[in-house]
Every structure is written in structure tokens, then in C-alpha cells.
């Protein structure tokens, strides 16, 4: 708060001046103060003007929301909220009259349990041996329910049924860089399906025995790549998990 007084602060107040009150990132109000002997009275309904740091009230509300609560509201996220959500043709503010985030999340969790995607997973309970902490003492089994897993064969079937399978490379090939001055061509290794390993596995599959000796269907290799990556489960602490990722090597890395 800052202002201009006509006399020393310790003397009787005689403002009759205009005091400007400015708060960081909030509207600036301009009041005219009426004074008595040593008190200043701000009229409740006699505000001369209202100034805002922003062009419109809508912009002001959005920016005030950004600067309250969580500090994780980056400028990029605010731009995404306004451009992609608030300006979306299917966004209707009146539909959010009785909106409650907790209730909507509970509905989504319940619907997810009955989703066709989750139905393809198998539910199981696993047992983990937990050390007792005492020497020469057997570990105690600890049961963990609620594990969902999907068989790899089901994942392969679903992948080859998806529209993305049209981009799968089912036959191996060599990739070369042709030298402009007539020198020997240089072989390029960029994908799994142009490697020597893929060639070898393709030949093995063609020679592999089949349950049907009269089968004329094409035999191809489903190239699966697996890897692990540690993931923190909490913002603070050392709790981690190591999810297993699977990727099809038949698909180019650029798709």
C-alpha cells in the first residue's frame, strides 16, 4: 500500500487525496478517502474507479486460479486449459453446474473395471516371501491381491488385429547406403527387422514343424522387445516399481 499524505503521519490526518492500493496480481482499486480528526474512512459503495491488470474478467479469473493452490500450474498447462478445453466446441460451462471431481473420478474407476480392455487381463493373487529379520528363521509369505496381467499371446493377437499391423514389417531385408563415387555400398542397421538376427529367426520359423502338415498359411516372426525401467511411486521417499515394457520390433521406431 502506498499513498500521498499532506501532513506528517504523526500529526492529524488531513488526506483529501487519492490513495492507490496495489496488490500483486490482483485488481488495483482507486479509492477517495474521507477523513476526520485522526481516522480515515473508506466508503463502501463510493469507489471512483476499478483498474485490472488483465484485459477481461475472464482472463483475470483464469490467472487468479493459476496463482492459487498448487504451484504446479505451468504457463503451458494454462494455455492448454484455455485453448484446448475452454475453447473446445463440445465444452459447455452450464454442464458443470453440479460438478465434483471426486465423484467423477469414482464413476470413471467403476466404469474402468467393466471396460473391455480390462476384461482381457487376468486377475490373480501373488505370494511374496518376506524375510523375518531373524537369523535362521524362515520368511513369512505375504499375499498380494489385485494383480492384473495379460498373456503375451493375447497381446500378439490383438496387435495383429489392430489397424497398426498394416505397418508391420513381416519379411527381413537388408538396407544399404549407395556410395556416390562407385565405392562399395555400406550396410545400414536401423531397425530390428533389417538385422541378421531377424533373418536367422525368419529362416527357423519357415522350417519349423507344424501341427497341420498341409498348412499353407504364411509363417512370420513377431519380434518382441522387452525392457525394464525404474519408476518412483511417490514424490518423496524411495518407493519404486519396475514395470515391464513390450514393443513390437516389426514396427518402425518412426511410427
Instruction: Express each pLDDT in 234-247 by its tens digit.
Output: 777 777 778 888 99
The CA distances from residue 44 to 37, 205, 244, in Å, are 20, 86, 64
Residues 240, 162 share a domain: yes
pLDDT of residue 100: 85
Residues 237, 164 share a domain: yes
Looking from the CA of 149 toward its CB, the CA atoms found within 13 Å total 12
Q: Which residues are paired to 237 by β-bridges? A: none
Residue 37 lies in a domain: yes
Considering only the C-alpha atoms of the chain, give the largest distance between any 2 of them, rounded to a whole number of Å: 111
Residues 116, 44 share a domain: no
Boundary (domain end) residue, out of 98, 116, 133: 98
Structurally, how many domains does the chain consist of? 3
Element (H, E) at 149: strand 140-149
Structural domain boundaries enclosing 188: 151-248
Nearest to 62 by CA among 82, 80, 76, 77: 82
User: DSSP string covering 98-120, please?
Assistant: T--HHHHHHHHHHHHHT-HHHHT
Q: How far apart are CA 150 and CA 188, in angstroms?
A: 35
Boundary (domain end) residue, out of 150, 166, 184: 150
Residue 255 lies in a domain: no
Q: What pLDDT, in 10s, does the model give residues 106-142?
A: 887 777 777 776 777 888 898 989 888 888 888 889 9
Residues 240, 202 share a domain: yes
230 and 173 Cβ atoms separated by less than 8 Å: no
Residues 230, 201 share a domain: yes
Is pLDDT above 70 for 86? yes
Amino acid at each position: 500500500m502506498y499513498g500521498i499524505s499532506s501532513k506528517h503521519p504523526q500529526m492529524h490526518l488531513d488526506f483529501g487525496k487519492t490513495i492507490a492500493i496495489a496488490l500483486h496480481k490482483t485488481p488495483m482499486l482507486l479509492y477517495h478517502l474521507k477523513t476526520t480528526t485522526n481516522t480515515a474512512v473508506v466508503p463502501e459503495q463510493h469507489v471512483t474507479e476499478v483498474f485490472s491488470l488483465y484485459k477481461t474478467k475472464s482472463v483475470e479469473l483464469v490467472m487468479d486460479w493459476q496463482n492459487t493452490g498448487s504451484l504446479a500450474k505451468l504457463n503451458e498447462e494454462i494455455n492448454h486449459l484455455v485453448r484446448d478445453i475452454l475453447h473446445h466446441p463440445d465444452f459447455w460451462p452450464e454442464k458443470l453446474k453440479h460438478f465434483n471431481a471426486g465423484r467423477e473420478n469414482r464413476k470413471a474407476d467403476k466404469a474402468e473395471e467393466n471396460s473391455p480392455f480390462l476384461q482381457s487381463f487376468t486377475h490373480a493373487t501373488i505370494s511374496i516371501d518376506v524375510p523375518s529379520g531373524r537369523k535362521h528363521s524362515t520368511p513369512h509369505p505375504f499375499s498380494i491381491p489385485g494383480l492384473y496381467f495379460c498373456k503375451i499371446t493375447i497381446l500378439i493377437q490383438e496387435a495383429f488385429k489392430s489397424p497398426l499391423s498394416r505397418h508391420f514389417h513381416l519379411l527381413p531385408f537388408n538396407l544399404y547406403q549407395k556410395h556416390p563415387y562407385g565405392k562399395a555400398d555400406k550396410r545400414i542397421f536401423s531397425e530390428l527387422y533389417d538385422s541378421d538376427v531377424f533373418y536367422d529367426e525368419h529362416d527357423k520359423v519357415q522350417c519349423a514343424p507344424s501341427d497341420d502338415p498341409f498348412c499353407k498359411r504364411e509363417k512370420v516372426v513377431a519380434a518382441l522387445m522387452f525392457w525394464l525401467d525404474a519408476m518412483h511411486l511417490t514424490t518423496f521417499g524411495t518407493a519404486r516399481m519396475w514395470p515391464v515394457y513390450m514393443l513390437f520390433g516389426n514396427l518402425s521406431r518412426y511410427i
